[in-house]
């Protein structure tokens, strides 16, 4: 079993879905990171970042599910981070960062669940 196979045994299923995400470590504008998801599930997201975030660091999230509704906002916690392998010396390293949702509203969780189910059926 590879390391990733072990990581994919999640409580909540995830699907590949590149929606836009804003990650904030605090209210300072310079700490705002605009990125996209690698995958998403009701329990959290994997985002692609140019910098590593500390384990268990609290973050504020804003997600655009591209479903015509308002952006989803909630608090989160970094639960894992893995540096991607770089192919070229001049390119920056990127990190896959897993963020668990902490205070996701029930309506927002339902929107994510519906999106995940729809995409899972299409796959």
Which CATH number covers residue 14?
A: 2.40.10.220
Please give the mean pLDDT across all residues of the chain. Answer: 84
Residue numbers of the domain that contains 61: 3-122
Q: Report the pLDDT value the prediction gives residue 6, as an integer from 0 to 100.
A: 42
pLDDT tens by residue, 77-105? 999 999 987 666 666 789 999 999 999 99
Q: Is 77 exposed, middle or buried (0-12, 13-18, 19+ CB in 10 A)?
A: middle
Q: Report the pLDDT value the prediction gives residue 74, as an integer from 0 to 100.
A: 96
Q: Which residue has the tokens 């997201």?
A: 45
DSSP secondary structure code for residue 28 in this structure: -
Nearest to 27 by CA among 5, 3, 1, 59: 59
How many Å apart are CA 42 and CA 101, to the nearest integer?
8
> How many domains is the chain built from?
1
Both tokens of residue 69? 């509704």
Per DSSP (E only), the strands in 30-104 are 32-41, 44-49, 58-64, 72-83, 95-101
Nearest to 41 by CA among 20, 79, 14, 80: 14
How many Å apart are CA 104 and CA 72, to the nearest integer?
9
pLDDT tens by residue, 36-62? 998 999 999 999 998 899 999 999 999
């Amino acid at each position: 079993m590879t390391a990733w196979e072990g990581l994919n045994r999640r409580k909540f299923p995830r699907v590949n879905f590149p929606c836009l995400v804003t990650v904030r470590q605090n209210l300072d504008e310079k700490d705002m990171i605009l990125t996209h998801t690698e995958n998403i599930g009701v329990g959290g997201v994997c985002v692609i970042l140019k910098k590593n975030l500390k384990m268990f660091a609290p973050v504020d999230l804003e997600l655009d599910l591209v479903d015509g509704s308002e952006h989803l906002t909630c608090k989160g916690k970094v639960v894992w981070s893995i540096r991607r392998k770089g192919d070229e010396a001049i390119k920056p390293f990127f990190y896959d960062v897993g963020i668990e949702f902490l205070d996701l509203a029930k309506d927002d969780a339902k929107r994510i669940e519906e999106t995940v189910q729809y995409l899972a059926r299409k796959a």
